[in-house]
Amino acid sequence: MRVTSGPAIEKPGDLAAILTNLGNFDVLFIDEIHRLNRSVEEILYPAMEDYALDIIIGKGPSARSIRLDLPKFTLIGATTRAGLLTSPLRDRFGVINKLEMYTVEELKQIVKRSARILNTGIEDEAAEEIARRARGTPRVANRILKRIRDFAQVKSDGFITKDIAKTGLDALEVDEIGLDAVDRNLLMSIIDKFAGGPVGLDTLAATIGEEADTIEDVYEPYLLQLGFINKTLGEEWLQSLPMTISGSGMSDVD
């Protein structure tokens, strides 16, 4: 299996080198595939349809195209911004699946496995505590686990108990539902400064000192999943339900 990412493939020649080095029935995984530039993307079209690579030799009137056969391979593309995929590329994929967030139980098993790899002891309740605050994402769960491991090594004997996990998570300002300081700042800005919205994405980004792309890619999906914000046409945001926000979490207001 060959793994790469859209931003890493800068030129058509980069992709051509990857494709020609694949073996029969290999799998090519491209993360953030929506970030492929158009000239690189066009190289994929004949590769996906005919297992072939079209190369232009020469310039001007004397230029000619030759076609190289490629081994049969499977292409998997991953993106959190499916709307940014061009129609020609999206339509060439035979299967399009949407992955859901991991459950707490699934994340708990991932945390326990990662702890074994890190040679770190952890209680079941501590693993569950980390899993509940991991935003449904294994990458976040593993990142939090490593920081809690560091915390346990400094504050205790290195074994992660539920109390150590909760204390460490509080120190990281990650609350009971996985919101961090930026999430809470974002929500409070919508509520306090814009009367619950709507507010433009760029305006909101300037208000909290974050890039608009960061808000859209990192914070928006989880807040939408929780139902704490709504997104309307024109990149506007709405507060979706009345709530109180504190450093330790959120609760509905009757």
User: Which amino acid is residue 136, in one-letter code?
Assistant: G
| Residue 132 annotated as binding site | no
Q: Per DSSP, what are the bridge partners of residue 245?
A: 250
Q: Does the annotation list 176 as a binding residue?
A: no
Query: How many residues comprise the chain?
Result: 254
What values do phi and psi take at 55, rounded to 5? -120, 135
Structure tokens at 197: 């919205």
Residue from 36, 165, 244, 217 nearest 45 by CA: 36
Q: Closest Cα partner for 6 from 41, 33, 29? A: 33
* Residues contacting 33, CB < 8 A, separation 6+: 6, 77, 78, 79, 85, 89
Is the Cβ–Cβ distance between 127 and 110 less than 8 Å?
no
Phi, psi of 69 (to 5 degrees): -75, 140
Q: Find out whether 211 is annotated in a ligand binding site.
A: no
Does residue 139 have a known ligand-binding role? yes
> What are φ and ψ of residue 65, in 5° steps?
-110, 135
Q: In this structure, what token pair is assigned to residue 117?
A: 């790899």
Q: Is 45 annotated as a binding residue?
A: no
d(CA 12, CA 20): 12
50 is in an annotated binding site: yes
Yes or no: say if 173 and 180 are a contact pair by the CB < 8 Å rule: yes
Let me know: does 58 contact 64? Beta carbons within 8 Å: yes
Binding residues: 49-51, 92, 102, 139, 231
Binding residues for DNA: 231
Binding residues for ATP: 49-51, 92, 102, 139
